[in-house]
Amino acid sequence: MNKGISNFQIGETFDHFLLIKKSIKGVASNGKPFLSMLLTDKSGEIDAKLWEATPEDEALFTQGELVKVAGEVGQFRNRPQLKIQSIRPVQTTDGVEVSDFVEKAPVNKEVLMEKVTEVIFEMKNPNIQRVTRHFVKKYQDDLLTYPAAVRNHHDYVSGLAHHIVSMLNIAQQLKQLYPEINADLLYAGIILHDLGKIKELSNATSPAYTLEGKLIGHIPMMVEEIKSAADELQIEGEEITILQHMILSHHGKAEWGSPKPPLVREAELLHQIDMIDAQMNMLNRALNKVKPGDFTERIYALDQRAFYKPVFEES
């Protein structure tokens, strides 16, 4: 049985099926074209290079395609990289499907939906509750299947809902520590903050950025949707403006993609909780790939740091 691409060590050979998550044409220093690919299965992903790629290769090996790949796991800039020796499209006789190679959230989507529904039911502010319920109902199917990102954190099927529920769990603990928090506002911001990614990304299994995603982005799209929903539901009031601010500011800084910094207590908490959950997701997944006493690969989104996994166990 194949042990999964993320479990292969440097120097090992690989000969199995993978899903193309991304494929970009490049030109080497010698003037010859190549394909730079991101290949994935349920265990994780790996960068790969197909050197001297032909126009036929470029047409065949595109995002979302399943392929049979043979090659050797090497290393480039401290990251594993698969040097492709042979590659072909999957055939019907191979008996494999895309769903076999897509990583999924570790929590069942029905359990995730139950948590979101429970939190909405407990909201006391009718305006915030109605707007939040409106969006969850409108986007329920995509909410439960889309990833939270193309790469880095929660970048797997149902990752968006998994991210939201993890953040809700953190927020509920903070509410116990700081009872003055407006829970309705914070929980609504958590549920809505990344829903724009359903329009920003193309699909759940091998997502790319849509035209709207590239030119507008999930933050402005969601801010506009909140205003439209409030008009449709005939809701007026400060809550709508603050919800829009929560979305606008949840990345924290302009250089991180937020048009406004957090200027409301719950907006600041939303940003901090978002950061904690995204970073812990990246850290845990990276640490799960290494043995005690080893360092992880460098994590791009965490300042290219490699993290050490201690040998001693928790007592």
| Tens of pLDDT, residues 227-272 | 999 999 999 889 999 999 999 999 999 888 899 999 999 999 999 9
89-139: pLDDT as tens digits = 998 888 888 888 888 899 999 999 999 999 999 999 999 999 999 999 999
Q: 10 Å Cβ neighbour count for 262?
A: 21
Q: What is the structure's pLDDT at 28? A: 87
C-alpha distances in angstroms, 155 versus 130, 160, 197, 233, 309? 29, 8, 12, 33, 23
62-83: pLDDT as tens digits = 988 899 999 999 988 777 899 8
Torsion of CA 52, 58, 64, 66, to 10 degrees: -60
The pair of three-digit structure tokens given for residue 68, joined into one six-digit string: 């049979």
Q: Where are the domains of the chain?
A: 5-101, 109-284
Do 5-101 and 109-284 agree at the fold level? no
Q: What is the CATH number of domain 5-101?
A: 2.40.50.140
The pair of three-digit structure tokens given for residue 33, joined into one six-digit string: 């074209």
- The strand pair at 66-76 and 44-51 is best described as unpaired
In which region does residue 64 sit, left (phi positive, over 0), alpha (psi from -120 to 50) or beta (all else)?
A: left
* First vs last C-alpha separation in the chain: 35
In whole angstroms, what is the distance from residue 288 CA to residue 294 CA? 11
Nearest to 266 by CA among 67, 141, 128, 166: 128
119 contacts 189 by C-beta, under 8 angstroms: no
Confidence (pTM): 0.86
> What's at 296, amino acid-wise?
T
21-50: pLDDT as tens digits = 889 999 988 888 999 999 988 888 899 999
In which region does residue 154 sit, left (phi positive, over 0), alpha (psi from -120 to 50) or beta (all else)?
A: left
Q: What is the structure's pLDDT at 1? A: 52
Burial class (CB in 10 A: 0-12, 13-18, 19+), 62: middle
C-alpha distances in angstroms, 67 versus 3, 153, 231, 251, 263? 17, 25, 48, 36, 49
Nearest to 143 by CA among 163, 161, 119: 161
Q: What is the structure's pLDDT at 315? A: 59
72 contacts 32 by C-beta, under 8 angstroms: no
167-181: pLDDT as tens digits = 999 999 999 999 999
Architecture of the CATH domain 109-284: Orthogonal Bundle (1.10)
Residue of higher predicted confidence among 212 and 300: 212
196-224: pLDDT as tens digits = 999 999 988 888 899 999 999 999 999 99
> What's at 253, amino acid-wise?
K
- The strand pair at 66-76 and 13-27 is best described as antiparallel
141-173: pLDDT as tens digits = 999 999 999 888 898 899 999 999 999 999 999
